[in-house]
Amino acid sequence: MIRFPNRFAEGWFLFFCVTFSSFLHAQQVTPISDATIVVSIPNAEQPDRNGIDRNYVSYEAIKSDSEGNWVFKGAPKEFESVQLGVWSYRHVSGEFFQFQTFQSKEARDGSITLILPRGVSIEGIVLDDDDKPLKGARARYGGGMASNKMDPKLTDEEGKFFYTAKEGETVTLTITAPGHAPELATFMMDDQTHVLTVFMAESQPMFGRIVGPNEEPVPFTWVFPDTWRGSRSLGTRIQADKEGKFIWKDAPGNGAFGLNNTLKQKVEIIAGETATVTLVGEGSVQER
């Protein structure tokens, strides 16, 4: 039995235990070490869920220890509920991890157990354009963008990375590395370990210039690659300079770009060419 210190008098500590369960042996649980727990604590006194103070705590991440236990320091003295997400590279976490809501009493008495299922291993190796292992490349899981995603897995000294997926799941992996064009792999998981090798090519820069309706430069605009090969998984943001010019050094051959958070249109920009994008008005983009 795990005994938790009685430190809740001031309301500053939360204790939980993370375990996983096999699909076939749900009654047998084993602690998960080094799982990532994501904590959000809503502010029940703020009815506007879009308000700036809607959460006491928002997306704070902590790790479980070798016993599967973890502690969160920083909870408010009074709160009604806590929202918890959990993920692990060694267990099925899905493209987007899901939050569960627990009441404050459960959080304070340490009775919460989070469960991650076992799955099938993905083992990858990333090679550069000389077929040498590429250390520090980022392997991103899933084909969409959202805040409730696992952190990208970095390749080790041998260029290797790993994930875990559910049998029958369609997996999308996006690999990025400085000085190299991104690569994307999509496959269906079966019941055996999936092994893949990713070959990275030298990148081709993309150039652009952001101007207003009267051809005036629009400085410091944020540009982000949006959809590429049917996925929204690049996770790259580029800021234009004071003359409205931007360059994406580690770009693929082509890609669709979105501009800012308020502009919904996308514009196609080709590697090696310079595109001028005119901001006509709120929510409007034109390519020239």
pLDDT digits 0-9 by tens, 166-200: 999 999 999 999 999 999 999 999 999 999 999 99
**Could you give all domains of the chain from N- to C-terminal order, each with its CATH number?**
8-117 (2.60.40.1120), 120-199 (2.60.40.1120), 206-287 (2.60.40.1120)
What is the C-alpha to C-alpha distance for residues 38 and 63, in angstroms, rounded to an integer? 9
- Provide the 8-state DSSP code for 235: -
pLDDT at residue 256, rounded to an integer: 62
Position 182, amino acid? P
221, containing H or E segment: none
pLDDT at residue 21, rounded to an integer: 35
State the maximum Cα–Cα separation within the chain, in Å, rounded to a whole number: 71
Residue with tokens 């997926």: 165
Q: Judge whether residue 66 has pLDDT over 90.
A: no
Q: Judge whether residue 25 has pLDDT over 50.
A: no
Predicted TM-score (pTM) of this structure? 0.82
By percentage, how much of the chain surpasses pLDDT 90?
40
- pLDDT band, very low/low/confident/very high, at 10 (cuts 50, 70, 90): very low
Q: Judge whether residue 165 has pLDDT over 70.
A: yes
Using the CB atoms, write b or e for 16-28: b if 16+ within 10 Å.
bbbbbbeeeeeee
What is the C-alpha to C-alpha distance for residues 44 and 79, in angstroms, rounded to an integer? 7
Question: What digits encode the pLDDT tens for the residues 239-258?
Answer: 889 998 988 889 886 666 65
Residue 103: phi and psi, rounded to 5, are -80, 160
- pLDDT band, very low/low/confident/very high, at 276 (cuts 50, 70, 90): confident
CB atoms under 10 Å from CB of 53, counted, come to 9
